[in-house]
Structure formats: structure tokens, C-alpha cells
């Protein structure tokens, strides 16, 4: 057994059919975890779970579709994960929404509320549903995928950045609440990563050049470069870390 071994652990990962969520699911499965694949579309979840079962062995992955905007969907996700695997050791709140790019003066109330509800409120719902069993076992790890947007000002991602800053505070608050029960809560804050979700920020070569020009590594990241941090936080390697935000951004925030 190594520090990063996840054998015997069950991880529920939202937004795990593509991008960062999929990379986290793949690496956790590779390190021995059972993973619950979840996103809005059931057929896509099933396809990803089948792929992981083919690669890592039958029973490695299960598919449970859920829309994070629905409290009932999230409760069903938790119930099904418990029914299939008997427990949840690691929760990764990765799914998020950002329906608006532009100055805050132009955002509609519905768009603003959707961002805050899906990126903050839904995370708190899901964590609250999962944590009681972690408290009972005196062990658990909650990982919220935030963003470096929550550490900087932005002229085009204002509401999203607000939600991601709030996620960091949510992790700090819950780390204080659940720490006495040996339940750890942390954030990962990726920089610019080549995902469909962030396509508006890198698809244009001029935008990409401007975004990476002052980054020490001078490039965009890939989803797999975020996954290792999640494995760290979900395994014994991360047992003494809680309430923190791990920035993985190629150095963009230090330059």
C-alpha cells in the first residue's frame, strides 16, 4: 500500500463524463478506487462507466445521472452510490455552470442566480447529504473544484469568479465544522485548462497567447494535470490537509 493507494475507497465525482472530472475519475480508478460517474445525460455516464470498467475491471465504475441544480437528483445520486457500493469515502464536487461572459452590469438575474446556485448552493447540498456517513466512520475527504478565477478580479467572468471564491470559503467553513470528525474538505483551483467548459478562453489563438504570455510555463494545462491533486486529497497522502486551496495554474497567479 502506497500513500496514494485508493483501494477500497468509493469516490463520487460530479461532472465526470469529460474534462477535469473525467480525468479525476480515470486516475482515481487507476489508483484502486470505485468511482461513480455522474453528469446530466444518462447515456454519456453509462458510456464512460463502461470504458472505465473495460480498462480497470468490472465493478470499477457505476453511472448515475444527476443535474446538480436539482436537490432530488443529488439525493438520488447519493442514494444510488450507497446502494451500489455501500458507502462514499470521497466526494468530488466538480460540476459547475457559467452561462455568461461579460461585464457584471450585463448579467441577467437568472444567469447570476444559476451560477451561484449551481456552483455554491448545490455543492453545499451534496456535501451535506454525504458527510453524515463520513462522520459516522470518522473518515472522509471532500474535494471542491474551484478556480483561480476566485483569486483574481475579472472583467468577463465576474459572477463565476465570485462563485469560485465562495467555494474556497465553503471549504474553509466546512473544514472547521467537520475536522473534529476527521472529515477533510479542500479545494483545487485550476488555472486555464484545455476543456470544453473553458473553450471560450482558449479556442481563439490570440486569447490563448494573451492568457499564457505571463505564465511561467507559457502554456495551457490539460485535465490530467489536475487529477493528481484529487488523488492526493482522496488518499492517505492528503490525510493532514484540510481547508486549503491547491492552486494548479502553471504559475499564472504568481507572475
Residues catalogued as catalytic: 160
Location of C-alpha cell 455552470: 97
CA distances in angstroms from 79 to 1, 6, 238, 247, listed in the order given: 30, 22, 26, 32
As given in the structure block, the three cell numbers for residue 154 are 475579472
Q: Give the integer Cα–Cα distance in Å for 253 and 248.
A: 9
CA distances in angstroms from 193 to 61, 159, 196, listed in the order given: 25, 19, 9
Q: Which residues, in sequence order, are bridge partners of residue 143?
A: 92, 186
Is the Cβ–Cβ distance between 159 and 117 less than 8 Å? no
Neighbours of 150 (CB within 10 A): 22
* 46-49 contact pairs (CB < 8 A, 24+): 47/17, 48/16, 48/17, 48/22
Location of C-alpha cell 462514499: 88
Amino acid at each position: 500500500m502506497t500513500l496514494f493507494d485508493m483501494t477500497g475507497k468509493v469516490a463520487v465525482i460530479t461532472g465526470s463524463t469529460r474534462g477535469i472530472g473525467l480525468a479525476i475519475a480515470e486516475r482515481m480508478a487507476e489508483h484502486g478506487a470505485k468511482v461513480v460517474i455522474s453528469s446530466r445525460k444518462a447515456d454519456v455516464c453509462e458510456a464512460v462507466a463502461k470504458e472505465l470498467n473495460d480498462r480497470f475491471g468490472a465493478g470499477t465504475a457505476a453511472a448515475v445521472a444527476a443535474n446538480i441544480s436539482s436537490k432530488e437528483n443529488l439525493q438520488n445520486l447519493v442514494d444510488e452510490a450507497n446502494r451500489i457500493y455501500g458507502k462514499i469515502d470521497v466526494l468530488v464536487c466538480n460540476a459547475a455552470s457559467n452561462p455568461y461572459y461579460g461585464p457584471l452590469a450585463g448579467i441577467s438575474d437568472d444567469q447570476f442566480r444559476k451560477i451561484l446556485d449551481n456552483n455554491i448552493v448545490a455543492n453545499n447540498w451534496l456535501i451535506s447529504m454525504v458527510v453524515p456517513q463520513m462522520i459516522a466512520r470518522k473518515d472522509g475527504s471532500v474535494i471542491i473544484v474551484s478556480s483561480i478565477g476566485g483569486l483574481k478580479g475579472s472583467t468577463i467572468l465576474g459572477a463565476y469568479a465570485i462563485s469560485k471564491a465562495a467555494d474556497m470559503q465553503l471549504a474553509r467553513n466546512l473544514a472547521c465544522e467537520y475536522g473534529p470528525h476527521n472529515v477533510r474538505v479542500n479545494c483545487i483551483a485550476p488555472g486555464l485548462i484545455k476543456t470544453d467548459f473553458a473553450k471560450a478562453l482558449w479556442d481563439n489563438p490570440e486569447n490563448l497567447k494573451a492568457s499564457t504570455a505571463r505564465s511561467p510555463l507559457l502554456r495551457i494545462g490539460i485535465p490530467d494535470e489536475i487529477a493528481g491533486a484529487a488523488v492526493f486529497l482522496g488518499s492517505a497522502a492528503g490525510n493532514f490537509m484540510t481547508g486549503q486551496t491547491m492552486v494548479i495554474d502553471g504559475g499564472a497567479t504568481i507572475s
